[in-house]
Each structure stands twice: as C-alpha cells, then as structure tokens.
C-alpha cells in the first residue's frame, strides 16, 4: 500500500539524527506540485464538471519560486498540470515559473493524461498534448517532460504518443509504484514510497524492526538494483494515522483529516538506508510530494485553507504548520553540505 494508491480508492544525503552529511550536487533534489498552486485542483483530475482552478498571479509564482529554488533547495521541479486551468493560462504560468526560478533549477512539466474518474477519461487530446510539449521544448527549453500517474501500468493513450514525438527518451514517470516495472517510453521516474517510510510509530523500536518499514524499503531498493533505469525515491512528509494501532502499522484508511506527520528523523534514516543499499547507477536522487502535503494541510483539522501549503508558497512564507517538522527535515537534507562523490 502506497499513499498515491490509497488516496485514489530528490542528491544522496546521509544524515545523522542531528545534521545531514555530504550530498552530491549532481543528483536530484526535487519536489512535485501543481504549476497552478490552486487551492483545489479537482477539474481534469476527478472529472470535467468541476470548478476550474484560478491561475496564480506572476507575483505568487515568484514567491513560490524563491522558496523552492532557495531555502527549500530544489534542483528540479515536477510541475503538474491536468487542464485544471485553461491551456493558454497554463502556458503563461509555466513561463512565469521559468523566469522566476534560478537557471540551475530544472522544470519538468508533469502532465496527467488520464483522470481518476470511473471511465479513466483522457485529459488531453493528441493535438493538445503535442502543442503543449512543443511549447515546453521550443519556448521554455525543458529538457524532460513527465507523466504523473499513481496507478501502475495504465495505457496513457494518444497523448503519450504525441509527447514521444518531441521527447523520445526524455519522458519520466512521477508516481511509480515500488514493484512497477519501468517500460518504454519512460526513461526514469520517481518511486512512491509511502508504506516503506510510514510503517512504525517509533524509529528504532518499530520502523527498524523485522517486518516493519525499513525492511520493506530495503527490499524495494534491492529490487531496483537489478535494473538499469535511474529512479528517485520519494521522501515523505504526510504519514497515516498512528493513533489507530499500537505500533503504527497501516490503519486501513487514508483520511486527510486524520493523517499525521511522519515521525521526526525518519527521512534521515530512510535516506541513509537508500544510500547504503542502492546501486549508484540506478539512484537518480530524491524527491518529495508537495501535492499531498497541500491536500492534507488544508484540512480544517490541520492548517485549514488559509494556512495550506500552496497558500504559504504563494505568500512567500516558510511553511511551519501541522506537517512542518518532517517538511523542514526534507529541506535540511536538501540543503546539507554536498561533495562530488
């Protein structure tokens, strides 16, 4: 069970409990989030007959870019788009992201090609997808594009074929499930790691014990070592409800009003495990899901709409809310001293 599947039915750093140790600047330190920074982004994700997202202002994008490319230390952003705002507005918003981010922060547009409605409806026509990726390549000079999908092995339809015409060998998958094979045309991606990180309330007494999360995560990493395709591993901020079971195993539900922060220090331990276990050629780096952070933080039981994560980005305000401890831990890992190993 991973978080992406449950809600729908990236630098190698070794860190002690106090301070991250050297990290390679050549590896991925990424986040994925909506280009629109919309408070709600349901249109084109759950169905067509939903309220569209208002595009952000240029200043709101600039505020978000200053944080993500500055103290949050990203060197890559996967910017999700699924028709939640009109295409012409999206072109302008993506252009604002490019002008606002430091030149060394890579933008990877991440398109959702199939919705999560019962019919799994296509989000873009072949022409729409083709025109978009031409814009990304010719106007924004994006080196890669991505498909965002947390369901494994879906047929992405004609829109993916259109993407291939401009980005053959340069298409990534965000939301890969741990046991999911990476097949063409995908050249890499980001692994959804929710259960491998979350299982166990306490780090030493639970998570590291046989049959708990560390063992699961190590098994996933060893399996990826048998392949040649590079992958980044998702660092977790939002965990499940630890109050439901004595030792913090999966409670059987994923509820944004009940989900809790990942225990402090867990990301550092997981990064250490991945670095120790992963074969260098298949370790692309690390990533973190800011979409799910926003969705859970905006619950009234947590930060509420006004304090939700995307709102803090648009305001240029450092996030210190309900999930602030694990989120700041991720940014500390990303900012840690780096060497050239």
For the chain, residues with pLDDT lower than 70 are 1-25, 337-341
Provide the residue ranges of all domains of the chain, joining segments of one domain with +.
Answer: 3-334
Handedness of CA 270, 273, 278, 280 (dihedral sign): positive
CA distance 267 to 281: 22
Q: Tell me, which fold does domain 3-334 have in CATH?
A: TIM Barrel (3.20.20)
CA distance 323 to 259: 10
- pLDDT at residue 184 in the model: 85
- pLDDT at residue 233 in the model: 98
Give backbone dihedrals phi and psi of 125, rounded to 5 degrees, phi first: -75, 165
CA distance 268 to 88: 41
- pLDDT at residue 322 in the model: 98
Distance of CA 241 to the CA centre of its chain: 20
DSSP for 247-281, written as a single string: S----S---TTT--BPPTTHHHHHHHHHHHHS-GG
CA distance 230 to 228: 6
133: nearest Cα among 87, 101, 176: 87
Non-local (6+) Cβ contacts of 176 within 8 A are: 152, 182, 189, 190, 191, 192, 231
Beta bridge partners of 111: 81, 147
Other beta carbons within 10 angstroms of residue 175's beta carbon come to 28
- pLDDT at residue 336 in the model: 85
| Bridging pattern class, strands 28-34 and 171-176 | unpaired
Give backbone dihedrals phi and psi of 274, rounded to 5 degrees, phi first: -65, -45
- pLDDT at residue 22 in the model: 31
CA distance 59 to 176: 33
Contact indicator for 254, 292 with CB cutoff of 8 Å: no
Structure-block tokens of residue 9: 């039915």
CA distance 54 to 34: 12
CA distance 107 to 117: 28
């Amino acid at each position: 069970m991973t978080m992406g599947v449950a809600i729908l039915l990236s630098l190698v750093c070794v860190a002690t409990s106090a301070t991250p140790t050297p990290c390679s600047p050549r590896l991925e330190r990424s986040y994925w989030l909506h280009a629109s920074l919309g408070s709600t982004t349901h249109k084109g994700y759950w169905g067509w007959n939903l309220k569209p997202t208002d595009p952000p202002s240029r200043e709101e994008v600039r505020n978000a870019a200053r944080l993500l490319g500055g103290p949050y230390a990203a060197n890559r952003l996967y910017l999700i788009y699924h028709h939640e705002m009109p295409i012409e507005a999206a072109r302008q918003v993506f252009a604002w992201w490019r002008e606002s981010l430091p030149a060394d922060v890579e933008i990877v547009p991440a398109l959702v090609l199939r919705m999560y409605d019962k019919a799994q409806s296509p989000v873009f026509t072949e022409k729409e997808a083709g025109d978009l990726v031409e814009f990304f390549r010719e106007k924004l000079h994006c080196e890669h594009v991505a498909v965002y999908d947390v369901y494994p092995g879906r047929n992405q339809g004609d829109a993916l074929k259109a993407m291939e015409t401009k980005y053959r060998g340069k298409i990534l998958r965000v939301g890969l499930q741990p046991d999911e094979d990476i097949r063409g045309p995908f050249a890499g991606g980001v692994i959804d790691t929710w259960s491998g990180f979350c299982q166990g309330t306490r780090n030493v007494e639970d998570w590291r014990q046989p049959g708990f999360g560390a063992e699961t995560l190590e098994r996933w990493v060893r399996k990826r070592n048998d392949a040649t395709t590079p992958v980044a591993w998702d660092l977790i901020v939002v965990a499940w409800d630890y109050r439901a079971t004595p030792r913090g195993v999966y409670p059987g539900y994923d509820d944004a009003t009940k989900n809790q922060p990942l225990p402090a220090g867990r990301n550092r331990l997981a990064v250490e495990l991945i670095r120790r276990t992963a074969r260098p050629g298949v370790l692309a780096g690390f990533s973190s899901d800011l979409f799910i952070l926003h969705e859970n933080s905006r619950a009234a039981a947590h930060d509420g709409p006004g304090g939700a994560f995307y709102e803090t980005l648009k305001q240029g305000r450092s996030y210190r809310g309900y999930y602030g401890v694990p989120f700041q831990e991720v940014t500390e890992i990303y900012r840690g001293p780096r060497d050239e190993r």
